[in-house]
Amino acid sequence: MPTRSMNGALDRDADEPLWQQLARRLRSEIDDGVLRPDQALPSESELIDRYGVSRTVVREALGELVRGGLIYKVRARGSFVSPQRPELKFVGAVTGSSDDLAPTGRHISTRVLDFSTGEADEREAEHLKIDVGDPVVRLRRLRSVDETPWLLVQTVLPAERFPTLSPTQLENASLYALLRRRFGVEPSGADRWISAVIPDRADAELLELAPGKPVLAIESVAWDADGVPFELYHALHRSEESRFYVGIR
């Protein structure tokens, strides 16, 4: 059983390579809270002296922790513990992003940037299984977590199905919760496509991102218990502070 102290020799007679032992030792310190988010790890030289291993062993161990998202490196400064990122499930589930964030205890706010009605174009009609020219509601929102912009989402809904939908109902509110409560829509499934993109200047400013910084683009079509599509959306997600969980059974 691994020791909880960072001091102490590694087992040179074990089948487990030294770099894996060191990675496990450091991972234990992070999991136990001995090393806190954004705290600097000991330098490579300190780890070499402390454990009596080579620089190659240390770098292999640190590289494993970087690949696992547990630490990050800053050029000329060293290695630091990565901030904890909540695991979000809405990409692989029928929950909305607001419902998924609620149990994390973080402060969630939603601002409606635009709300309009119009006629469905070919792409919207195809995904929502309606006719081209049928009325649709187009909704653009910015969701923030702990005052930091987090998700910019453009949503299209069939207007005939949601005739009384208004922007005031959606300010700081969950769209899915509203659709359940007011319109009796129970999301049953969705198709989602995810890709990495560079947002344009206007979207980057809304997300408070530096020009050229990538985000995750998420496109989704959701349907109800009868298999009828009710929502098409395209979202830009700042992913550096969270990670998505998709379970496959």
pLDDT at 164 over 90: yes
Which CATH architecture fits 87-244? 3-Layer(aba) Sandwich (3.40)
Mean pLDDT, rounded, of the chain: 86
Q: Is the dihedral of CA 96, 102, 106, 112 positive or negative?
A: positive
Overall fold of domain 18-81: Arc Repressor Mutant, subunit A (1.10.10)
State pLDDT tens for residues 27-67.
999 888 899 888 999 999 999 999 999 999 999 999 999 88
Residue with tokens 């149990």: 103
In 68-114, which ranges are continuous DSSP H helix?
Answer: 97-101
Q: How confident is the model at residue 85 (pLDDT cuts 50, 70, 90)?
A: low
Examine the pLDDT at 249 and tell me if it is beyond 70: no
Q: Parallel, antiparallel, or unpaired for β 148-158 and 187-197?
A: unpaired
What pLDDT is recorded for position 142?
95
Q: What's phi and psi for 109, nearest 5 deg? A: -135, 150
pLDDT in tens, 215-236: 999 999 999 999 999 999 999 9
Element containing residue 237 per DSSP (H, E): strand 229-237
Q: Which residue has the higher pLDDT, 96 or 177?
A: 177
The model's pTM is 0.64
Domains 18-81 and 87-244 fall in the same CATH topology: no
C-alpha torsion sign, points 198, 209, 231, 86: positive
Give the pLDDT confidence score for residue 6 in this predicted structure: 47
**Is the confidence at residue 123, as pLDDT, over 80?**
yes
Average pLDDT of the residues in 98-116:
77
Ordered by start, the domain boundaries in the chain are 18-81, 87-244
Kindly indicate the confidence band of residue 116, based on its pLDDT and cuts at 50, 70 and 90.
very high
